[in-house]
């Protein structure tokens, strides 16, 4: 927890509008900070970067990497956990017992799972920006950019497919534009997408999540937070263009003081926010989100406490809420750290001063901060309502909402539709909607009841749209009625409606769809107002500030994270906490010591029987977890850590508690990324889980 006060604002000044500090930044691979890397004695070649780029795998909202010539993919247990939960049965809860495929034949298909890599990266900024003509309003400029982006994506997709005509089942190519610097720069990523993904290995949740919530975002740490999948193409293990190899000798591996490179997909940072926007996040957005996650976590706990089935089907979702809660708590603390805010104020003041001094800049960019403040005020006026209606809490309701939105979008001319509802994305949306996933009726009913309860908590019982959703029933009664009446728990029925298009969806009298329509009636005007009025204004003016930053700081700046591929880097070194030095490595030995002491009163620290049985066979000195100064954030989960030789040495799974304000700023003194050491992964899989073949394949 940050204590502020004592630290000067200058510590934080790098973060945000200032130039990046040495290990700060999540850098696009075609915009690396060569001088900083050189300061670490490292100058990557183009071949090196392409090899890393193509080995780096994108999971939905997370990261991974190819680690064998036969399509083996490494990521975190907490990245794979939703799949583990889905693949579980009353007889075999994979989150509890783990999973080890003893042969290729035993590898478990993961329905609906999609991963991808980035084949090529091209800067197309000029092409996109050429579409915006002088004199356009913010809204017109936004529409022009959108049209240009869609054109480039379509063309790139067609081109890529032409060059690789021999597509096999489970593999496809697609062009995607990645906007950077709030629209100051645009990269085209041609992606290779894989849809045949199978589960190879997962430890028990108890080992992956050792220490539970108390240890989450903390260090020292003792988690085996890994999970392995295999990508298939044409029903055969996929041979990747590139994969990460481990070092050859037994001395290879992470070392204190060494530079670690993290190739991954950091999800979202907001480091370029103005002070007004930061205060909006601090005073409005974060408190609202915190209140929501507290509620959802308690509701999730109440559900899993009902019985064994609920424990199995509800645990993964519950862990997600707990993780969000701890992350948001750290962000909120960060924004109430006076030193962080002083640092942010300092860099904003410097930028404003620089703009004001230059009449040309003042004319172009001088109104940006004020315009952003206006847009935030507008956003604030609909914030609570948007927050209410845009959250669901039930997967089935989300699906139904997507169907209603699909019908709505299909009713418009293609040019006016959102990007997700046309071209190849529309096809893959329909495919995803109809994917064969297990649906747990009790979990859905609980989620629906809680959605209705939350509506009532917020609007009260007399608000007409709320009363209409309840239809004269109690929330529990209405949820039960909907779940008993709906056909949309069957993926087949969803698929039929999705394929049937607007007319089929609109003709359906399914009670869940009926509720979704009622909710959509609430969200539509709010979201349209945001998308058409507020968001373009924010984008246009943040783009002005991005230009001002380029002008004052040159190329020493990096764009906010947005789930696109980045390199983060930093030294494997410890940190100091409340005056005490924290070493950068933990070991199997310290794991066993912790289990022996804290496991007695707290089950989160207990060893499973399998680990108890194997403890004598483990090398106590094997490094288990380690930290490095690399600047990462949620979405980096599952990223590989490689050394400057490109050798795989670890697996990112967390940041320490000081990394949590990283959404807004980076502090190299205490902010650390946390990784599982590759040696521990391989030894545990071989010794504890009795799967030496898998252990050997990793990075071979």
Interface residues with a copy of itself (CB under 8 A) are 1-6, 96, 212-214, 279, 282-284, 287, 290-291, 294-295, 297-298, 301-302, 305-308, 311, 325-326, 329, 332-333, 335-338, 453, 456-458, 460-462, 470, 472-477, 480, 598, 601-604
Q: What is the distance between the alpha carbons of residues 39 and 10, in angstroms, rounded to a whole number?
A: 22
Residue 450 or 522: the one with the smaller Cβ distance to a copy of itself is 450
Nearer to a copy of itself (CB atom), residue 213 or residue 506: 213
Residue 582: which H helix or E strand, with range?
Answer: strand 580-582
For 221-253, b where at least 16 C-beta lie within 10 A, e where not — what string? Answer: bbbbbbbbbbbbbeeebbebebbbbbbeeeebb
Q: Which is nearer to a copy of itself, 7 or 571 (CB)?
A: 7
- Cβ 441 to a copy of itself shortest distance, Å: 15
Closest CB to a copy of itself among residues 35, 601: 601
Q: Give φ, ψ of 441 to 5 degrees.
A: -60, -40
Which residues partner with 176 through β-bridges? 189
Nearest distance in Å: CB 214, a copy of itself: 3
Bridge partners (DSSP) of residue 108 are 199
Cβ at position 491, least distance to a copy of itself in Å: 28
Closest approach, Cβ 474 to a copy of itself, in A, equals 4
Burial class for 487, CB neighbours closer than 10 Å (0-12, 13-18, 19+): middle
Q: Provide the minimum distance between the beta carbon of 172 and a copy of itself in the complex, in angstroms, as a whole number.
A: 41
Task: Tell the smallest beta-carbon distance from residue 489 to a copy of itself (Å).
Answer: 20
Nearest distance from C-beta of residue 610 to a copy of itself, angstroms = 16
DSSP state of 181: G
| Closest CB to a copy of itself among residues 5, 257 | 5
Measuring CA to CA, how many Å separate 330 from each of 9, 16, 24, 661?
Answer: 18, 18, 19, 6
Decide: 570 and 593 in contact? Cβ < 8 Å: no
- Identity of the residue, 477 or 646, whose beta carbon is nearer to a copy of itself in the bound complex: 477
Tokens of residue 117, six digits: 């890599």
For the bound state, the minimum distance from the C-beta of residue 581 to a copy of itself, rounded and expressed in Å, comes to 19
Mapped onto helix, strand or coil, the DSSP state of residue 203 is coil
- The nearest distance, CB 466 to a copy of itself, in angstroms, is 10
Q: d(Cα 418, Cα 657) in Å, to the nearest integer?
A: 38
Please, which residue, 251 or 462, has the CB nearer to a copy of itself? Answer: 462
User: Shortest CA distance to 440 belongs to which of 202, 207, 195, 93?
Assistant: 93
Q: Residue 275 Cβ, how far from a copy of itself at the closest point, in Å?
A: 11
Report angle CA 695, 696, 697 to the nearest 5 degrees: 95
**For a copy of itself, which is the closer residue by CB, 67 or 346?**
346
Closer Cβ to a copy of itself, 61 or 320, answer by number: 320
Q: How far apart are CA 411 and CA 407, in angstroms?
A: 6
3-state secondary structure of 641: strand
Nearer to a copy of itself, 178 or 328 (CB): 328
Do residues 30 and 187 touch, judged by C-beta distance below 8 A?
yes
CA 341 – CA 327 distance, rounded (Å) = 18
Which residue, 134 or 472, is less far from a copy of itself as judged by CB?
472
Q: Is the Cβ–Cβ distance between 346 and 352 less than 8 Å? A: no
Cβ–Cβ under 8 Å, residues 26 and 666: no
The minimum distance between CB 339 and a copy of itself, in angstroms, equals 8
């Amino acid at each position: 927890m940050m204590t502020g006060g004592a630290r000067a604002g200058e510590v934080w000044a790098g973060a945000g509008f200032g130039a990046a500090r040495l290990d700060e930044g999540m850098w696009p691979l075609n915009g690396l900070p060569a001088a900083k890397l050189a300061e670490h004695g490292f100058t990557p070649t183009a071949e090196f970067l392409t090899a890393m780029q193509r080995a780096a795998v994108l999971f939905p909202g997370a990261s991974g990497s190819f680690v064998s010539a036969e399509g083996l993919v490494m990521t975190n247990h907490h990245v794979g956990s939703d799949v583990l939960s889905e693949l579980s049965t009353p007889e075999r809860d994979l989150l509890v017992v783990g999973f080890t495929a003893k042969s290729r034949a035993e590898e478990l298909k993961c329905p609906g799972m999609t991963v991808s890599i980035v084949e090529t990266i091209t800067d197309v900024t000029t092409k996109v920006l050429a579409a915006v003509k002088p004199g356009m309003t913010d809204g017109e400029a936004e529409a022009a950019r959108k049209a240009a982006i869609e054109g480039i994506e379509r063309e790139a997709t067609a081109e890529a497919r032409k060059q690789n005509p021999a597509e096999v089942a489970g593999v496809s190519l697609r062009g995607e534009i990645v906007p950077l610097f709030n629209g100051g720069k645009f990269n085209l990523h041609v992606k290779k997408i894989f849809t045949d993904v199978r589960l190879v290995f997962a430890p028990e949740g108890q080992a992956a999540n050792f220490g539970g919530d108390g240890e989450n975002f903390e260090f020292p740490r003792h988690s085996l937070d890994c999970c392995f999948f295999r990508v298939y193409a044409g029903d055969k293990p996929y041979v990747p263009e590139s994969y990460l190899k481990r070092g050859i000798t037994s001395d290879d591996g992470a070392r204190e003081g060494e530079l670690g490179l993290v190739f991954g997909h950091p999800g979202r940072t907001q480091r370029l926010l103005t002070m007004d926007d930061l205060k909006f996040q601090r005073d409005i957005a974060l408190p609202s989100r915190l209140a929501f996650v507290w509620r959802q976590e308690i509701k999730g706990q109440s559900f899993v406490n009902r019985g064994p089935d609920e424990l199995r089907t509800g645990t993964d979702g519950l862990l997600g809420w707990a993780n969000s809660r701890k992350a948001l708590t750290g962000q909120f603390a960060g924004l109430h750290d006076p030193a962080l805010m002083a640092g942010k104020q300092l860099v904003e003041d410097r930028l404003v001063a620089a703009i004001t001094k230059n009449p040309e800049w003042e004319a172009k960019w001088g109104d940006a901060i004020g315009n952003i403040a206006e847009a935030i005020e507008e956003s604030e006026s609909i914030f609570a309502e948007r927050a209410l209606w845009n959250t669901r809490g039930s997967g089935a309701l989300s699906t139904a909402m997507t169907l209603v939105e699909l019908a709505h979008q299909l009713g418009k001319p293609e040019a006016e539709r959102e990007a997700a509802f046309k071209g190849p994305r529309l096809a893959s949306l329909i495919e995803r909607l109809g994917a064969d996933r297990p649906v747990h009726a009790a979990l859905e009913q609980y989620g629906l009841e809680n959605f209705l309860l939350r509506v009532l908590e917020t609007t009260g019982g007399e608000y007409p749209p709320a009363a209409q959703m309840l239809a004269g029933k109690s929330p529990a009664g209405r949820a039960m009625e909907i779940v008993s009446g709906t056909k949309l728990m069957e993926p087949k029925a969803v698929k039929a409606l999705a394929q049937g298009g607007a007319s089929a969806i609109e003709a359906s009298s399914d009670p869940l769809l009926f509720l979704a329509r009622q909710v959509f009636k609430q969200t539509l005007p709010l979201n349209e107002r945001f998308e058409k009025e507020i968001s373009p204004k924010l984008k246009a003016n943040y783009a002005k500030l991005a230009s001002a930053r380029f002008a004052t700081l040159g190329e020493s700046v990096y764009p906010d994270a947005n789930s696109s591929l980045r390199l983060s880097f930093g030294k494997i070194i410890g940190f100091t906490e409340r005056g005490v030095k924290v070493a950068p490595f933990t070991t199997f030995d310290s794991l066993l010591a912790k289990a022996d002491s804290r496991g007695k009163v707290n089950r989160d620290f207990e060893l499973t029987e399998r680990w108890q049985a194997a403890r004598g066979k483990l090398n106590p000195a094997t490094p288990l977890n380690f930290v490095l100064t690399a600047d990462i954030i949620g979405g980096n989960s599952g990223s590989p850590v490689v050394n400057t030789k490109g050798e795989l040495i670890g697996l990112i799974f967390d940041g320490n508690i000081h990394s949590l304000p990283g959404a807004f700023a980076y502090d190299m003194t205490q902010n650390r990324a946390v990784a599982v050491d590759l040696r521990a992964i391989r030894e545990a899989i071989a010794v504890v889980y009795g799967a030496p073949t898998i252990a050997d394949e990793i990075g071979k």
